[in-house]
Structures are given as C-alpha cells and as structure tokens.
Amino acid sequence: MDLGLTGRVAVVAAASQGLGKAVALALAAEGARLAICARGEEALRSTSAEIGGDAFAEVVDVTVEPQVRGFVARVLERFGRIDICVTNAGGPPAKRFENTSLEDWRSAVDLNFMSTLYFARAVLPHMQERRWGRLITLTSMAVLQPVDGLILSNSARSAVRGLVKSLSNEYAPYNVLVNNVCPGYTATERLKKLDVRVSEIPLGRIATPEEIASAVVFLASERASYITGISIPVDGGWTKAL
C-alpha cells in the first residue's frame, strides 16, 4: 500500500529515543523528510544520523514556547513546508493525589498539555494556508481509562484529548486532520517506572515502539484522509470501554 508520504515534511517532538524515535524512523522509512527535536543533544544527533538523508535536528525544550516557535520557523525555512507534526513528551511521574504538589501539577500541564498547544499554534496556520496537514498527538491509554497512581498523566493528557477534538472540528474545512494516538504499556525507558500487570492486557504482552509508530504513520498518510478527531488506543486491548 502506497501511503503517499514520499516527500512529505514531518516534525516529530521528543524524537531522540523511545516512541518519538520509532515514529521518526517509521516516517522516514516511508519517504518522509524529517525534522526532529529533543532535549538531549547526544541522543538527538545519533537519531538524526540513523535517519540520514537531509534530516534536521535541533535541541528543544518543548515546555518553552519560544523554543518551539523558533524550531518550527527554522524547519519552515529549511524545507519550505510542514505537512505532518507529531507532538510528544515524556510522562509525568507516577503519583497519587495525596502525594502531589502544586508544582507537580504545573510541570505536568507544561509537559503534556502546553507543549502540544505550542506546536499546534506554530504549525496549524501554515497547514491551514496550504489546505493539507496532519497534527497527531501522542498521549496515553490513560485518557480513555484512568490508570491508578497516574493522576497527573490521567488529567493533563486528557486535556490534550479535548484539544484534539476541538481542533479537528475547527480545521477540518481546511483538510487538516487532527488525531490522538493513545499508547498502552510499551517497551520504553518509562515502562521501568510503572507498575505493569501484563495479565491485564488481553494480548498478553507489552507493545513495541514500532507498533505504536505504525498507527501514527497510518494517520499521517493519505490513506487516513477521512479520519479526524479520534483518540485511538494502541494498547493490546487493555482499555475496557466500548
């Protein structure tokens, strides 16, 4: 199946490792041109080299709006367009409500909600003008079914889900599709910090980053041209909701 991604320009945040890296490599494998960012320079450069071609990489803290805005501006200067933007950031720490501080809440909102908002504000006007675009957020299955002990993620990432649905309605007339991918337990560094019960996953195993990336690539493609405003779980059946 030709996904129609050859020559498309894709921005992937937090792409130096884990899910972001898997998404960037998968998009590149389909012929997309990549612009990636992350906070860690060494890992970022390594991922950029792995992507190869004319990949563009820049150290960016996604919680700082001027850095996100400047990065997007430089991507546009280099490639002349942005067709796909995949927002991504690490998850907040596992805590129960009684153990959270106000600073924990501010950090979670900055990391997971505001970072998404910053990218949306930077890329959507450009996509609207070109009348083609894909904004895809990476959140968590916790936005569909809250996970015990992850109240920060349950809350801040659920706000992203609301943003996605609202933006999908506003930008649909311009052929800009906005969707949300909700990974389940996945074999990344963050998994070590979570209490995982594999027995609760109907498929009986942890996902690979590449399996999450495949869903993102499909939503970024021409083949997903009539899909917008959804939050799709890629969780091995863990989410129990209809």
Q: Could you tell me the pTM of the whole model?
A: 0.96
Question: At residue 206, what are phi and psi to the nearest 5 degrees?
Answer: -85, 145
What local confidence, expressed as pLDDT, does residue 54 receive?
A: 95
What local confidence, expressed as pLDDT, does residue 188 receive?
A: 85
Extended strands (E) in the chain: 9-12, 33-38, 56-59, 84-87, 133-138, 176-183, 231-234
**What is 9-234's CATH number, 3.30.450.20, 2.60.40.1180, 3.40.50.720, 3.90.228.20?**
3.40.50.720
What local confidence, expressed as pLDDT, does residue 142 receive?
A: 94
Burial zone of 11 (CB within 10 Å; 0-12 exposed, 13-18 middle, 19+ buried): buried
Rounded CA-CA distance 4/25 in Å is 16
What local confidence, expressed as pLDDT, does residue 221 receive?
A: 97
What local confidence, expressed as pLDDT, does residue 11 receive?
A: 98
What local confidence, expressed as pLDDT, does residue 6 receive?
A: 97
Q: Which two tokens stand for residue 130?
A: 């070109």
Ranges of each domain in the chain = 9-234
Measured CA distances, 136 to 154, 160, 203, 215 (Å): 19, 11, 25, 10
What local confidence, expressed as pLDDT, does residue 242 receive?
A: 82
Per-residue pLDDT 10s for the chain (242 aa) are 799 999 999 999 999 999 999 999 999 999 999 999 999 999 999 999 999 999 999 999 999 999 999 999 999 999 999 999 999 998 999 999 999 999 999 999 999 999 999 999 999 999 999 999 999 999 999 999 999 999 999 999 999 999 999 999 999 999 999 999 999 999 987 776 777 888 899 999 999 999 999 999 999 999 999 999 999 999 999 999 88
Measured CA distances, 216 to 13, 117, 210, 222 (Å): 13, 19, 10, 12
What local confidence, expressed as pLDDT, does residue 194 receive?
A: 74
